[in-house]
Amino acid sequence: MEGLGRLSDPEPPRQLDVTCRACGSRDLTLILSLGEQPLANALRPLAEIDAEQPRYPLDLAHCTTCSLVQLTVSVDPDEMFADYPYFSSYSDTVVRNAADLVEQMVADLGLGAESLAMEIASNDGYLLRHYRDAGVPVLGIDPAANVVAVATADGIRTRCAYFGNALARELRTEGIRASVLHANNVMAHVPDVRGVVQGITTVLADDGVFVMETPYVRDLVEAVEFDTIYHEHLAYYSVTSLDRLFGANGLELVGVERIPIHGGSLRAFGALPGARERTPDVARLLDEEANLGLDDVGYYRDFSARVDALCASLRERLDALREGGTRIAGYGAAAKATVLLNALGVDADTIEFVVDRNPNKQERLVPGTRIPIRAPEALLTDRPDVTVLFSWNFADEVLAQQAEYRAGGGRFLIPIPEIQLV
C-alpha cells in the first residue's frame, strides 16, 4: 500500500547510523519502517479533534552484534509516561496472569513477612496487591504520577520514579533488597536497558530472583504482530538477546518460559551469577533460536513484505464492508489500535468509534485518526454491525464479555494473526 512508509521487497537491508541500546554496537540493519506515527497512547480530548499531533519515525532494526531488535528513535519518556492512560487492572487476563505468577513465586521462593516483592513499572499495583494479600511486603516503582496515586490509595507502597542504577543504589543505601523483583512488560520500554539491568543486580538480594515478561520477537515475526511495534516499545527480545544483555551486565539468565499472553511472550528469570542453577529450558530455547537463524538479520528479511500483505488485505476488507453499508466500530483503544489504524490510513470515515473499558480513555480520541473513544455500552446502544477487535490478544476475554452484543447479531473482525470475522 502506498503512503505507509514500509520497506518494499526486494530492497536489500540498509545499514543504519545508530547505536544499539543494549551493546553499543553500530552494526544495525533496518528491517521494517512504519513511517511517522503519533505516540500510541497520546489520547487527546474530543475538543482537540482538529489539533495536529507530533509524529515520530517508527523504524525497526536488528543488531548483528547482540541480536536485539529495536526501534531506531527514542522519544522523551516524559512525553509518553507522565500522564499514562493505561491501567493494567482493566484487563482480567493481565490480572489473572499476575495472580497466578505471584502464587507460583510465593510458593517456589518461600516468601513471607521477612521478604520484599518489588516491581519496576508497577502501574496501579495490579501485581503487587497479590503479594500484599499473601502477607509479603511490597514496593512499586513507576514514573506515572496518575497511576502511582491509584496504587498508593489502594495501599500499595509506590515510588514515583524511573528505575535505573542510580535509584537502585539509593534503595540499597536505605537497606532495601528485593527477594523477588518483577518487570512485567517494561523492559521493552526502557531506553537505557544496560542501566536498568545493572540496577537490578544492585538492588536484588543475594538469593533473590528477577522475573520479567516481555513480548517474544519470534511470535511477533511469525504471526505478523506488527501492531505491537510502537514508540513505547523500544526493544523486542529473543532468548538470545536477553542472555547476552544479562551476561554483559552482571546478571545470569537462569530460566525462561514461553507464555501465551499478549500474543506470545517470554517469562525470563534472572539471578546474581552462581546464585541459582540454570534450567534446561534456557539451553533448549537458545538452540531453537540458533537453528531458526533468529540471531541473524536474514530471519527478518521477508517481515516487511508480510506486513504489507496483511495491511493490504485488512484495508480491502474494511473498504468492502463500508462500501456495502456495514457500520463499523472498534474494540480496545490500546496502542495496537493506534498503530494499526495509522498504518492503514483509516479514520472516522471508516470506523465510527472505538470502545474501551478504561474510563481514563473514554471521551478522548484515538491518536492520529479523529475516532472517538466511548464506553463498551455503546456497542449495545448504537449496534454497529462489525467491531474490529484491536485488542486481539485478549480475544477470548472480550468475546465472552460481549456475549449480548454478539447474540444481537454483532460480529467481531479479528485482524491479527489472521483476518477472521466471528
Rounded Cα–Cα distance for residues 231 and 218 (Å): 19
Residues 238 and 333 in one domain: no
Q: What is the CATH number of the domain that holds 221?
A: 3.40.50.150
**Grid coordinates belonging to 364:** 478522548
Q: What is the pLDDT of residues 71-97, one digit of tens each?
A: 998 887 777 655 555 555 556 777 888
User: What digits encode the pLDDT tens for the residues 351-393?
Assistant: 999 999 999 899 999 999 999 999 999 999 999 999 999 999 8
Report the length, in residues, of the chain.
422
Model pTM?
A: 0.87
DSSP tag of 12: P
Instruction: Based on the fold, state whether residues 122 and 163 are members of the same structural domain.
Output: yes
Number of domains comprising the chain: 2
- Report yes or no on 75 lying in a domain: no
In terms of domains, do 161 and 276 share one? Answer: yes
Q: Could you count the other beta carbons within 10 Å of the beta carbon of residue 37?
A: 22
- Residue 107: per-residue pLDDT: 96
* Residue 223, in any domain of the structure: yes
Q: For position 82, what pLDDT does the model report? A: 54
Residue 77 counted as domain residue = no
Q: Give the pLDDT confidence score for residue 199 in this predicted structure.
A: 97
Q: Cα–Cα distance between 296 and 289 in angstroms, integer?
A: 10
The answer, yes or no, to whether residue 333 has pLDDT greater than 70, is yes
What is the pLDDT at residue 263? 79
Q: Are residues 287 and 310 in the same domain?
A: no
Domain range for 331 is 304-421
Domain end marker among 292, 318, 338? 292
284 and 313 co-located in one domain: no
Last residue of a domain, one of 243, 264, 292: 292
In whole angstroms, how far apart are CA 245 and each of 22, 65, 283, 393, 421? 6, 11, 16, 27, 41
**Mind listing the pLDDT tens digit for each residue in 207-234?**
999 999 999 999 999 999 999 999 989 9
76 in a structural domain: no
Give a yes or no: residue 71 inside a domain.
Answer: no
**Does residue 31 lie in a domain region?**
no
Name the percent of the chain lying above pLDDT 70: 93
Do 157 and 118 lie in a common domain?
yes
Instruction: Dump pLDDT digits (tens) for 158-170.
Output: 999 999 999 999 9
**Could you tell me if 288 and 308 lie in one domain?**
no
For range 145-165, the mean pLDDT: 93
Q: Which of 292, 312, 347 is the last residue of a domain?
A: 292
pLDDT for res 72? 93
Note whether 49 and 370 are within 8 A (CB). Answer: yes
Which position has the higher pLDDT, 3 or 31? Answer: 31
Query: In the chain, pLDDT over 90 holds for what percent of residues?
Result: 81
For residues 320 and 267, state if they share a domain.
no
Residue 392 sits in the same domain as residue 280: no
The per-residue pLDDT for 189 is 87
- What CATH number should be reported for the domain holding residue 369? 3.40.50.720
250 and 355 together in one domain? no
